[in-house]
A and B are shown apart, each in its own frame.
Chain A
Amino acid sequence: MKVNKKSAMTWPAMLMLLCFTLIPLLIMFETSFRSDETGTLTLENYKKFFTNFMYIKLTGSTLLMSLLVTVISLLIAYPLAYIMAKKLKGLKNVILVLTIIPFFTNQLVRVYSWLIFLQDGGILNRLFMSFGLAENGLGILYTRAAVVIGLTHAFFPYMVVTIYMALERMDDSLIEASMSLGASKWTTFKDVIFPISMPGVMSGVTIVFVPCLGSFVEPRILGGVNGTVIGTVIEDQFFQLYGWNFGAAIAFVLFALVLIFMGAFGALGRRWETE
């Protein structure tokens, strides 16, 4: 009966998960099949989504935006994590703290800081204008670019941490072994360092990509009219239009997408598994 006693310790956590995650999710799932007018079970909410080209296009552009944020994050996070783990052994704690500061800042504070920074009278514009680089200002606020900047800033630190951990775990003598076998620095990176850090890269990619797909605060505040994404559409359904049933249906389409991508990233990560 030992096994039961041990598993009993997981019951509180299981109960929490059940009450606060699974049950609300099931309620939402059920909601997504209810008709707005009659309240009867129906597929019309999903039909509405898949038959309206606007929603499909919006999903596509949200995916594209999330992908862009993920790629930019990777380009920033990988070198940073690499330098921290393998080059600056002394300074790494300072950089680590600096990169994870966004973790601790409130989301709204962070987003409004960007708003102030990017707006027409903001620092960035004045800087560019004073150097004569942009006559009428950059006009970057309320564009997709502003959204991408805000989202990247919000999520890339997670990626730094996952990649850093993967590189930190890696034995330096693997790099030396590769060099001793005649490989150049680049080959060593491409064939040894990067593949071994792949599990960290893949969890970083997941951790950035998935929340981007559902984001609505950054798109709304920094993107304005150009910031419409799936996340803002769902939010509108719930809080502006009271179309809960349709909102729930879109949310589950998004959920399905997330599951598909997580599966794909997982499979990609497993290709480099060491077992």
Chain B
Amino acid sequence: MAKVTLKGLTKIYGKNTVVDHIELTVENGTLVSILGPSGCGKTTTLRMLAGFELPDDGEVLFDDEPVGNVPVNKRGIGMVFQSYALFPHMTVFQNVAYGLEQRKIPKQDIEPQVMEALRTVHMADFRDRKPSQLSGGQQQRVALARALVIKPRVLLLDESLSALDKKLRVEMQTELRRILEETHVTTFFVTHDQEEAMTLSDTIVVMHDGKIEQMGTPREVYEKPKNRFVADFLGKANFFEGIVTETGEGTVTIDTGNEKITIPADGAEAGEKVLYAVRPEKVKVFEKSEKPAGRTGIDGSADRFVYKGNITTCTVDSGSMSILSEMNSGDERKDAGRNAEVFVTWEPEDAIRLEE
């Protein structure tokens, strides 16, 4: 329910700049996922948004108002902690009612609101239990209900669905999306799970060493990663790096330092230093005998084809590099046996030119 702006937000612990001049504007009602490796500053960023930590530089604005002087309990945030932080001496009901009581809501209005919130997270039957009598996933859902029931302006979720099993997690994701669309609350969602970030968010922010590497819609970030870090962190990628020696019709020849290879790619000129990323699902594998005439690609030998349910993967060894391919398991395809001689290729537009 608020537009959130981070202006040059910085946090320094001792000598470590943990969050490094972050610039970010999040429109009202948007769900932003913050994605990044462990220790990159995700929790610290959330804690500054909440007001638990004061920034060493820069500021946080809600609806263009700086909130630097607004204490935590007046910021109108809802937070789900990495450790859930349910009050151990209170029942599930009392935990969820706590925030409403602070808002001086009349007693008779509290009960229906609490029960409504508990129903949303499928925990209504557990209202009289103590947190110690709940599983990790159930505790997480109570924590979510407790944060949502106060109708916060900004909702902060720190790996809030990580303890749930796959099925329940997907269910909660759908539920969360529905609740957020209804309540229109601006949400920051910290997660390690890129698939979760993809399905849930309007915007993905990829963080690394306290800096934002890239932000955009899930599609933008996945299909147009800016650099090696983002391409590698979100999904998998095959990288080709070197100096361009020659370009052709949809082909680029690169001197990698060890050898010269010609790959399907566009958008480079001779003499340039380039880095291309190719997503494994774009890499097509052909048996040598079926190699399409006139196409550019790389010869190699395939190790075992690994069946992984919906996809089948295969690593092709060209002698100097290995290329990962992911194919739909459903596709009609002859399983070239172990160490088969193969040929891999992709469309020139599937080679993404990265900054570095």
Closest chain-A Cβ to B17's Cβ sits at a distance in Å of: 23
Q: A196-B89, A274-B88, A274-B130 in contact; A182/B83 too (CB < 8 A)?
A: no
Inter-subunit contact B73/A183 (CB<8 Å)? yes
Q: How far is the CB of A195 from chain B (nearest CB, A)?
A: 5
Contact present for B85 and A182 (CB under 8 Å): no
The verdict on A275 contacting B130 (CB below 8 Å), with A180-B50, A182-B73, A182-B103 known, is yes
- In the bound complex, residues from chain A placing their C-beta under 8 Å from that of B133 are 275
Given contacts A180-B73, A182-B73, A196-B89, contact A187 B78 (CB under 8 A): no
Q: Knowing A180-B50, A180-B72, A275-B132, say if A187 contacts B83 (CB, 8 Å).
A: no
How many residues in A have their beta carbons less than 8 Å from beta carbons of B? 22
Known: A187-B102, A274-B89. A180 touches B77 (CB 8 A): yes
A180's closest neighbor in chain B, by CB?
Answer: B79
A residues near B11, Cβ cutoff 8 Å: none
Report B117-154 residues with CB < 8 Å from chain A CB: 130-133, 146-147, 150
B81 at interface, CB cutoff 8 A: yes
Q: Is A177 engaged at the interface, CB distance under 8 Å to the other chain?
A: yes
Contacts between the two chains (Cβ within 8 Å), count: 70
- Taking CB atoms, residues of chain A closer than 8 Å to B103 are 182
- Distance A273 CA – B50 CA, assembled complex (angstroms): 30
> Which among B73, B130, B131 has the highest number of chain A CB atoms within 10 Å?
B73
How far in angstroms is the closest Cβ of chain A from B2? 15
Task: Decide: A176 and B89 in contact? CB cutoff 8 A.
Answer: no
Is B58 an interface residue when CB atoms closer than 8 A count as contact? no
Report how far A183 CA is from B99 CA in the complex, Å: 7
Taking a contact as CB atoms under 8 Å apart, the answer to whether B81 and A181 are in contact is no
A272 within 8 A of partner (CB)? yes
A176, A196, A272: residue with the most chain B Cβ atoms closer than 10 Å: A176
Interface residues of chain B: helix, strand, loop or mixed (majority) = mixed
Once bound together, how far apart are the Cα atoms of A178 and B88, in whole Å? 12
B87 on the A face (CB < 8 A): yes
Q: Bound state CA distance, A206 and B313, in angstroms?
A: 66
Distance A118 CA – B21 CA, assembled complex (angstroms)? 61
The one of A176, A187, A275 that contacts B85, using a Cβ cutoff of 8 Å: A176
Q: Which of B86, B88, B99 has a CB less than 8 Å from the CB of A182?
A: B99
A18 to B355, CA, bound (A): 80
CB distance from A102 to the nearest CB of B (A): 32
Question: How far is B85's CA from A174's CA once the two chains are assembled, in angstroms?
Answer: 5
Closest to B82 in A: A173
**19 A–B pairs (Cβ distance < 8 Å), ordered by A:** A171-B85, A173-B81, A176-B50, A176-B81, A177-B85, A177-B86, A177-B87, A177-B146, A178-B87, A178-B98, A179-B73, A180-B72, A180-B77, A180-B79, A181-B99, A181-B102, A181-B146, A274-B130, A275-B133
Q: Identify 17 new A-B residue pairs, CB closer than 8 A, beyond the known A180-B50, A180-B73, A272-B89.
A: A171-B83, A171-B85, A173-B82, A176-B72, A177-B146, A178-B87, A178-B98, A180-B77, A181-B73, A181-B98, A181-B146, A182-B103, A187-B102, A196-B87, A196-B88, A198-B89, A274-B130
Closest 10 CB pairs of A and B: A181-B99, A182-B102, A274-B88, A177-B85, A173-B85, A179-B72, A180-B79, A173-B81, A179-B73, A183-B102
Query: Which residues of B are in contact with A by a Cβ distance under 8 Å?
Result: 50, 52, 71-74, 77-79, 81-83, 85-89, 98-99, 102-103, 130-133, 146-147, 150
